[in-house]
Structure 1
Amino acid sequence: MADDGMDLNINFSVTAPPPVSHNPLSVKGGRWTERLKAKRATKNRLARSSKPATDAPPESNRRSAANSSLKRKRPGDNSGEPRTTKPPPGADGTFVSSLWTGNPEAVTTAEERVEETTPQEPSNAPLADGSSTFTTLGLSPILANHLTTKLGLKAPTAIQRSAIPDLLSTDSDAFIQAQTGSGKTLTFVLPIVDRIMRITATEGRRSGLYAIILAPTRELSQQIYTVLQSLVHCKNGPHWIVPGQIKGGEKKKAEKARIRKGMNILVATPGRLLDHMETTESLRLDAVRWLVLDEGDRLMDLGFEEDINKILNILETRNRVRPDDGPLPNKRVTVLCSATMKTNVQKLGEKSLKDALYIKAEPTEEGGEEASEESKFTAPAQLKQSYVIVPAKLRLVTLYATLKRAFIRQTAKPKILVFFSCSDSVNFHYEVFTHKDAPEADTKSKNQHNNKHSKSTNDSKSSSTQADKSQKNVPAASPAVQLRNDILLHKLHGSLAQDVRTATLASFTKTKNPAILFCTDVAARGLDLPDVDLVVQFDPPFSPDDHLHRIGRTARAGRDGKAVMFLLPGPEEGYVDAVLKKGIREGQLSRAEADTVIEKGLAENAKEKRRDWEDRATEWQLNVERWIMDDSATKDLASKAWTSHVRAYTTHVGSEKAIFNHKALHFGHLAKSFGLRETPSSIKAPSADAGKGGKGKAGGKGKRKFDMDDISEQAGDEGMKKMRQMARAMERKGGLSSEFNIG
């Protein structure tokens, strides 16, 4: 091809062309705010890269400098090495909240305490003026001698002096109201035994059933039965009188056999008595002369109204009392015992009593106002009450300090009751105070909580004082090794098997060692637990009446006693004016702060610095948290206890809803009081058959009662609203008491 005369200027070199100049700070696209952030980030990156490497101190030195500026060097720390913080075992990187920061302040201030100028005379003690003896009341010399020589009762109490002569001489119905711990059980038992033993011609147990005594709980039923056994087996006493007992939790076959043999006085719980009335043909009711309804307010609170109405109707149709000139009443006498005169008790009295005598130990003074319709009885005069304002995070360690303080003297052997709102909380705190520091020693005990519906698992704990769960009459008790090895810690609630509950009460009552009982309200009514020195209400009661019955477990029969209640800062402080200050005398109530309680319980001497006992409290709390996080079964137990506690918190009576407001709870702080570093993710709804072993009523399989799907994942306002609605529905159906194991 011919040359066209064109010159080609082509560079075949491999050298790359020079880069096009570009401003690194130039950013295009997006919003102007995003471009500005990107421009600043690029500028800072370029500035760091252009800085000489020698000017940058090593990373370890920077951390050391930061630590030295933030933390004060401790005395004796001469190490120049940087301090590194090692996370506690089992922490898994979770945030550990401090006990001493972020706590809310109390909204009320402590009032100046007025000290009592003179000690109060006991208001429920036996009469010391010598005006009355058991013989002058009209009792048989045999019984009077037994009471003074064997039971150590030198004189009757005020209620016994008022009631026993009337119950011995008349055939009228009676309503008995008196202070807690004033001897109401002997008040109605003694006249019954005395009049039966005066029968001249008798066939022993074949004579028939003369008296039925109804008690709201199995524990109270057992206590009344024990008192009867003591009276009929006294020296030269009426050995032919046979008391009997039927209650829930025992085999009906054995009870039917005892009924066939015959008995003269029957102590029972309402549900089981009604069952035998309807199904046991050998239960003869034609000769019944007394029906006693003990703790009438509690019978109504636990939903036994329908059962009692049926019992009364059956007695009306099957009771054939024939008038005679003997010592027994000529008609059936009904005795109603109650601490209060609430509306529901008056309703029960209208149905069960006819022309009844009203007997009260302390009548109104001349010129005084009559008792109101909702008449309340007061706490014993010698009882000293106090309350502690405790932030949620400090609740567990404050309980620990309170118990440590109570046992600070090695020679002291007090007995202490601690009340909780639900059985899961009892189980959790029982494990906390009985576990050993070595986790492997507790593995077997902690794994026992995995099966929710297995009573035998929950009732039998692996400890030095527990035997195999197949054994009978083994108490739920273990050494409180977190406090002192010689302290025996018991637990009691409605989910325990009946033989375990009975054995636990017997162990706590009879032990000569220092002892503690963690319990629900199943132990709040009627039980005479001797020598109880202190009652701790760790969870506030569900009603004002429950408060009076709880503190009534101490300061009984003229003895001294103390009671303390834990309250959260905020709305709960209103409980002081609403309940605690009512019915008390000047100087009977005092206030304490959580810091003061912890210092007194954990400080080794009065001059110890605050930091020292704070560190001691923190270390104990952290040990509990590590123990919980290292074992999944224990963590599940703590989560379940927290869940049940929140559920129970919504079930206070309507008049106290503003005081115990779930919206004021800090769930995270509350979780720390259960040894949890994170709030449980959900609040599970209770089963309608809780406490019943999973056995529902016939025909109830298709009913949807309380499903966990009804509750929101985070337990918000809607979830709480549903829980309150369902709790009220359960209460109307009588299921609430078993849910929280208070009956």
Structure 2
Amino acid sequence: MPRTLQDKLLKRKLKKNQEVKKTLTTIDAPVPLSSSCNGTIEATFESIKHLLSEPVYKAVKAMGYTNLTEIQSQVFNALLTSDDRPSIKAIAKTGSGKTMAYLLPVIEMINATGADDSTGTMAIVVCPTRELAMQTYGVVVELLKFCRQKAALVRGGGVKKDEAKVLHWGASIVIGTPGRLLDHLQNTERFVYNCFSTLIIDEADRLFETGFEKEMTKIINLLRGIRAHQTLMFSATDNPLVQQFSKKAFHFPPILIDLSLSQEQATVAQLQQEFMLVPSEKRFFVLFCLLANLRSKKVMVFVSSRHSIFLYMTLLNNLCVDVMYMHGHQTQEQRNVSFNQFNRQDNGVLMCTDIGARGWDIPIVDLIIQYDPPDDPREYIHRVGRTARGGRDGKALVLLRPEEWEFVNFMRAHKVQLKEKKIMWEQAEKIHGQEYSKIVELVRRNGHVKSLAKTAFRSYIRSYLSHRLKYIYDKNTIDLHKAAKSFLLDEPPFTDIDEASTNPRLKKRPAEARAEFGKQSFKKSYKK
């Protein structure tokens, strides 16, 4: 190939990459919170105006906040009215306004000291996920709009050299994920934090569930070696892991603010929660009917696997229902693009796995649909916590097979009340039956879509077998032929359930081994 042609192709490729990077950077920018973020009690931000400096109050007013939430009222009372800097451990529901509860007092404290970028880092916020760190950073930027101080974001997936430059020039508040934050604390030479005074641990239960205990212990030990500091720990639940880590995190016993003790429900009061009993073969038809009737709304749909996302996204797009998606196998940039696009839109559908269940603050999500129900009440609470945030109303719907009715009683035992929503079958068939029959025919004729359906079906069965609540999710109640209909297949492909019943070697295994069989790969070994 001639040298000149090679140069032309290389330049064209570089130009294309630069354009893509520019687009991603633009879409990846923090999204300001909606101006309708109001609290749920009578106390207002105006009533604490005398406790805030003018630049901070001006920023709060510009963001559109009016009323306080219960957690904000109690935390502000403890931090803004005290001359010293007490440590706090706060337990409150998802969507109750915990982020603003800890950011506002910390920013007011830093602004009151007259610190600037040359002072170095005074506060560090640790978040369990990159996405939550990004959102928290976006709120901090808004609150610092009229202040001299700056903030920095450090997270896995970001460019470490660029982060180091920002830290070198100075940032009063640093928001980050545990691994990357620890890396900078240990290895970034010009990261100045000798005036450090406050450590904030957000979503503490999630941090320790995802295995960040070692990193958090190192961070705390490293910061404790500099000077005594204030620690603010916020969590949706006070599980044994959080209780155990609290002993390491606090120098002295903290002020405990536990709103879960005084509340009869595990979710916020303005959240309307319902369930539908749907036969296996009608599950996708019901989902399509729901989304077709909610084209003007903002909806999040939770499914068990990325394979289900690929299938349902393809089918729904063919039915003129635009779907965005997000799952754990995407790159960080791809997830950021999906999240921010959905965040900026007034309506649309975001289909995701449980990666979308924690920490996301999306303005005005109208409905959460749990297409594949969880077996952990904490996961259910965090899923539905993506709606009814900051005092807004919201709805949540979970689809259950009739055989999974016991899930309702299970959630009731965990302070979650679900009401049944009836399905108008005749009306649904009349309005959407013809469109649905076309998509069924598409799966029969299109080999690629049929392959997606088979893979999604196998993933669904594997996920079902991995459920811990066997008395609710009993594999013996699954009719494979009916379940295959919800994936628009005429016949079910070979699955783990088939192998479990036909493989004589598996029958000889102990019960524990058989219970773990659903987690194995579907691929068979071929004999030469």
Q: CA deviation at 1:633?
A: 3.0
In structure 2, the residue matched to 1:184 is 98
1:347 to 221, 244, 249: 244
Q: Partners of 2:249 and 2:517 in 1: how far apart?
A: 31
In structure 2, the residue matched to 1:167 is 79
SS at 1:643 equivalent: helix
SS at 1:135 equivalent: helix
In structure 2, the residue matched to 1:12 is none
In structure 2, the residue matched to 1:579 is 411
Conserved in 2, the CA contact under 8 Å of 1:711 and 1:719? Answer: no
Q: CA deviation digits over 1:241-288, x for unaligned, max 9?
A: 121112222333333333333322111112222333344333344332
Q: CA deviation at 1:641?
A: 1.9
Structure 1 residues 286 and 537, CA gap change in structure 2 (3 angstroms): same
Q: Partners of 1:651 and 1:279 in 2: how far apart?
A: 41
Q: CA deviation at 1:620?
A: 4.3
In structure 2, the residue matched to 1:659 is 472
SS at 1:292 equivalent: strand
Q: CA deviation at 1:682?
A: 4.2
SS at 2:452 equivalent: helix
In structure 2, the residue matched to 1:456 is none
**Aligned-partner residue type, residue 482 of structure 1:** C
In structure 1, the residue matched to 2:155 is 247
Q: CA deviation at 1:205?
A: 2.4
Q: CA deviation digits over 1:272-323, x for unaligned, max 9?
A: 2233334433334433222111111111222222222222233234xx23xx
2:393 to 555, 560, 565: 560
In structure 1, the residue matched to 2:308 is 425
Q: Partners of 2:260 and 2:170 in 1: how far apart?
A: 39
Q: CA deviation at 1:505?
A: 1.7
In structure 1, the residue matched to 2:277 is 389
Q: CA deviation at 1:433?
A: 0.7
Structure 1 residues 187 and 299, CA gap change in structure 2 (3 angstroms): same
Q: Partners of 1:300 and 1:273 in 2: how far apart?
A: 16
SS at 2:134 equivalent: helix
Q: Partners of 2:510 and 2:451 in 1: how far apart?
A: 21
**Aligned-partner residue type, residue 304 of structure 1:** F
Indicate yes or no: 2:355 matched with 1:522: yes
Indicate yes or no: 2:383 matched with 1:550: yes
Structure 1 residues 728 and 643, CA gap change in structure 2 (3 angstroms): closer
Indicate yes or no: 2:508 matched with 1:679: no
Q: CA deviation at 1:131?
A: 7.0
Structure number, greater radius of gyration: 1
Q: CA deviation digits over 1:699-721, x for unaligned, max 9?
A: xxxxxxxxxx9998799776996
Give me the CA root mean square deviation.
3.1
Q: CA deviation at 1:421?
A: 1.6
Q: Partners of 2:514 and 2:354 in 1: how far apart?
A: 21
**Aligned-partner residue type, residue 509 of structure 1:** N
* Bigger fraction of residues in helix: 2
Conserved in 1, the CA contact under 8 Å of 2:461 and 2:495? Answer: no
Q: CA deviation at 1:228?
A: 0.5
Q: CA deviation digits over 1:450-487, x for unaligned, max 9?
A: xxxxxxxxxxxxxxxxxxxxxxxxxxxxxxx434xxxx
**Aligned-partner residue type, residue 150 of structure 2:** V
Structure 1 residues 133 and 180, CA gap change in structure 2 (3 angstroms): farther
Structure 1 residues 683 and 621, CA gap change in structure 2 (3 angstroms): farther
Structure 1 residues 600 and 509, CA gap change in structure 2 (3 angstroms): farther
Q: Partners of 1:710 and 1:209 in 2: how far apart?
A: 57
Q: CA deviation digits over 1:433-463, x for unaligned, max 9?
A: 113xxxxxxxxxxxxxxxxxxxxxxxxxxxx
Indicate yes or no: 2:430 matched with 1:533: no
Between 1:204-213 and 1:131-140, the stretch displaced more is 131-140
2:42 to 129, 140, 147: 129
Q: Partners of 2:70 and 2:485 in 1: how far apart?
A: 48
2:198 to 290, 299, 302: 290
Q: Partners of 1:636 and 1:186 in 2: how far apart?
A: 46
Q: CA deviation digits over 1:168-205, x for unaligned, max 9?
A: 323222111222222110101111111111123x4x32
Structure 1 residues 142 and 225, CA gap change in structure 2 (3 angstroms): same
**Aligned-partner residue type, residue 426 of structure 1:** I
Q: Partners of 1:721 and 1:250 in 2: how far apart?
A: 42
Q: Any residues of structure 2 matched to 1:195-234 within 5 Å, and which?
A: 195-200=109-114, 202=115, 204-233=116-145
Conserved in 1, the CA contact under 8 Å of 2:69 and 2:391? Answer: no
1:627 to 434, 438, 442: 442
Q: CA deviation at 1:621?
A: 4.5
Conserved in 2, the CA contact under 8 Å of 1:681 and 1:713? Answer: no
Conserved in 2, the CA contact under 8 Å of 1:135 and 1:141? Answer: no
In structure 1, the residue matched to 2:330 is 496
1:259 to 164, 167, 177: 167
1:140 to 53, 65, 69: 53
Structure 1 residues 221 and 669, CA gap change in structure 2 (3 angstroms): same
Q: CA deviation digits over 1:592-614, x for unaligned, max 9?
A: 34xx244454534xxxxxxxxxx
- Give TM-score, length-normalised by structure 2: 0.82
Q: Structure 1: any 5+ residue segments left out of the alignment?
A: 1-123, 322-330, 365-370, 408-412, 436-480, 605-615, 685-708, 730-743
- Give TM-score, length-normalised by structure 1: 0.60
Q: Partners of 1:628 and 1:259 in 2: how far apart?
A: 53
Q: Partners of 1:581 and 1:600 in 2: how far apart?
A: 35
Q: Partners of 1:658 and 1:390 in 2: how far apart?
A: 18
Conserved in 1, the CA contact under 8 Å of 2:44 and 2:68? Answer: no
In structure 1, the residue matched to 2:256 is 358
Conserved in 1, the CA contact under 8 Å of 2:45 and 2:65? Answer: no
Q: Any residues of structure 2 matched to 1:78-97 within 5 Å, and which?
A: none
Sequence identity (%)? 30
Q: Partners of 1:229 and 1:531 in 2: how far apart?
A: 21
Q: Partners of 1:393 and 1:503 in 2: how far apart?
A: 34
Q: CA deviation at 1:139?
A: 2.2
Q: Any residues of structure 2 matched to 1:364-513 within 5 Å, and which?
A: 364=262, 378-407=266-295, 413-435=296-318, 481-483=319-321, 488-512=322-346
SS at 2:476 equivalent: helix
SS at 2:67 equivalent: coil
Structure 1 residues 342 and 720, CA gap change in structure 2 (3 angstroms): same
Q: Structure 2: any 5+ residue segments left out of the alignment?
A: 1-36, 521-528
Conserved in 1, the CA contact under 8 Å of 2:127 and 2:133? Answer: yes
Conserved in 2, the CA contact under 8 Å of 1:159 and 1:361? Answer: yes
Q: CA deviation at 1:426?
A: 1.8
Q: Any residues of structure 2 matched to 1:32-111 within 5 Å, and which?
A: none
In structure 2, the residue matched to 1:701 is none
**Aligned-partner residue type, residue 120 of structure 2:** G
Q: CA deviation at 1:130?
A: 4.8
Q: Partners of 1:173 and 1:713 in 2: how far apart?
A: 58
**Aligned-partner residue type, residue 121 of structure 2:** L
Q: Partners of 2:104 and 2:187 in 1: how far apart?
A: 31
Q: CA deviation at 1:379?
A: 1.5
**Aligned-partner residue type, residue 638 of structure 1:** A
Structure 1 residues 378 and 715, CA gap change in structure 2 (3 angstroms): farther
